[in-house]
Chains A and B, each alone.
Chain A
Amino acid sequence: MLSLFRLQAAPLLFAAALLPDVAYAQSADVAAKLSAGNAAWILTSTALVLLMTLPGLALFYGGLVRAANVLSVLMHCFAIACLASVLWLVAGYSLAFADGGSAHDWIGGLGKAFLLGVGVDDLTGDIPESVYFMFQMTFAIITPALIAGAYVERIRFAHVLLFSGLWLLVVYAPVAHWVWGGGFLQQWGALDFAGGLVVHATAGTSALVFATMLGPRRGFPRELTPPHNPSLTMMGAAMLWVGWFGFNAGSALAANGSAGMAMLVTHLSAATASLVWVAIEWLKFGKPSLVGIVTGMVAGLATVTPASGFIGPIGGLAIGLAGGGVCYVAVGIIKTRLKIDDSLDVFAVHGVGGILGILMAAPFGDAALGGLGLKMSVGAQLGIQAAGALIVVAWSAIATAAIVVAARALVGLRVAPEEETEGLDLTQHGERSYTL
């Protein structure tokens, strides 16, 4: 996102050379600024990032739960996608990206609520604002959907909706504003290319707080049912990988070298972390598992996300190595040692990965380690990165706790033990996935 202003000129020339007739279709003053090439890539990226949630994340999570809960998980992801889309139009986008006046360091204003005043020819940078709105919306969809991994198999559906809606406005939109919308973290020079703070640190932290307040699933940790369908999980993971090209390379907001390099390092980090995770499993337990290799992939992708626009290929490899190893250890600490039933390891994989990537963006963004160069010393950048992570983690934790308390008072939190045993598919939604 940060590179939008830095790298604007080159893609404009590029697009003007390749796509003259598209540019002619626009009115004169718009044609002078609009980059059809960049707009085309961000339109494509928007579709890719939506694919990450629907059906990527839904399948990834759905395969990991009991057979009696798979529909509820698909439902969580789908319903959150719908709700977040509407709220993004109502106020989310405006709070994140509109002018906040005297409060602009902290939060955007309501000037663009319902996109009032935004016309079809209005631009953000050199792409239509409608495209920018949609692209950002797909991030606002997947982030609360990620948190679903913490509360699966025992949550009341009404709580999912109320929590996710409030969380989008109270946690996601402000943090997006701090980091990408001109808020204080962006002013400090914090580097977060595609959402290590905005997406993964917020969702991961909130997942951990939510899981702690909700309590574990019945039978945790000794008598849980294993994942019911790792095939679904693999299919979802593969869609996440492909979609992540839109997530990270799209965050260049241009069809240029920055996007290309972001795609390259994203892919390498995913591949490396997959191998790291499965190698650890193989050595430790004697069997390399499918669930293991795809979990490593997500860890590698989450970790490289904040750094993806600032590093080179070696950084991609290094971040993949670190992401796979550190997130693996984190899963053990959260689940086995702390006994917190963050059921699908949202904090250990996304939270830890996102924060690790935020920190690693400083050294590997430096030209000395093959990065594209920092505007300050590595130490100074690292300090800003760490401070940003601390602030985002603190805000996510406090706000999540408050939202869970409020939503619990209004619609309840957890299903009855009997309903939990019978499964959420039948008790919450009146459907079953596998009728034999």
Chain B
Amino acid sequence: MKYIIAVIKPFKLDEVREALTKVGVQGMTVTEVKGFGRQKGQSEIYRGAEYQVSFVPKVKLEIAAADDLAERVVETIREHAATGKIGDGKVFVLDAVQALRIRTGETGDAVL
């Protein structure tokens, strides 16, 4: 099982969620986050003065997927979160060592 962490542009969230649902993803965790990458920050102007905002708002998706689905999940995110502009975000894939459904006590791919 893989644990996939994706940080994407907030306005792409709905599109990515729909596409992931279609390829068979049954659940995900979404968090509003802030951070910076090569995009650095951005600036806002109030009363003519420029404020540097060093952390840009993004959305973080966390998805657990069976090994055979993981690659399609990553591809789907890539396909639907991309705008081609700087700041589109990143995807990281980790090995999930254990998974447990709290209600039933099931483990492994049955949890997904």
- Which residues of A are at the interface with B, using a C-beta cutoff of 8 A? 64, 221-227, 281, 284-285, 287, 289, 291-292, 295, 328, 331-332, 335-336, 345
In the complex, the chain B residue whose C-beta lies closest to that of A291 is B46
Say yes or no: A285-B47 contact (C-beta < 8 A), given A222-B52, A223-B52, A226-B53: no
Q: Chain A contacts of B45 at CB under 8 A?
A: 281, 285, 287, 289
C-alpha spacing A335/B46, complex, angstroms:
12
Q: Which residues of B have CB within 8 Å of A332?
A: 48-49
Contacts of B48 in A (CB 8 A): 281, 284-285, 328, 331-332, 335-336
Minimum distance in angstroms from A373 CB to a CB of chain B: 37
By a beta-carbon cutoff of 8 Å, the part of chain B in contact with chain A is 44-49, 51-54
- The complex places the Cα of A224 from the Cα of B48 at a distance, in Å, of 14
Q: Contact check, A291 vs B51: say whether CB atoms are below 8 A apart.
A: no
| Nearest neighbor of A349 in chain B, beta-carbon distance | B47
Q: Nearest Cβ in chain A — how far from B35, in angstroms?
A: 16
CB distance from A292 to the nearest CB of B (A): 7
**Does B47 contact A225, Cβ atoms closer than 8 Å?**
no
Bound: A375/B46 CA distance, A: 43
Name the residue of chain A whose CB is nearest to the CB of B54.
A223
How many residue pairs link A and B with beta carbons under 8 A? The number is 37
**Within 8 Å CB of B46, what residues of A?**
64, 226-227, 289, 291-292
Alpha-carbon gap, A92 to B53, bound state (A): 45
A224-B41 Cα distance, complex, nearest whole Å: 13
- Alpha-carbon distance A277/B50, docked complex (angstroms): 16
Partner of B47 from the list A222, A223, A287, A292 (CB cut-off 8 Å) is: A292
Q: What CA separation (Å) do A24 and B61 show in the bound complex? A: 76
Residues of chain A within 8 A (CB-CB) of B54 are 223
Collect the chain A residues with CB atoms within 8 Å of residue B53's CB: 226
Assess whether A226 is in contact with B47, with CB atoms less than 8 Å apart. no
Q: Is A335 in contact with B49, judged by CB distance below 8 angstroms?
A: yes
In addition to A64-B46, A225-B51, A281-B48, 11 A-B residue pairs with Cβ atoms within 8 Å of each other are: A223-B54, A284-B48, A287-B45, A291-B46, A292-B47, A295-B47, A331-B48, A331-B49, A335-B48, A336-B49, A345-B47
Q: Which residue of B lies closest to A233 (CB)?
A: B46
A353 CB to closest chain B CB, in angstroms?
A: 14
Residue of A222, A226, A285, A291 with highest tally of chain B CB at under 10 A: A226
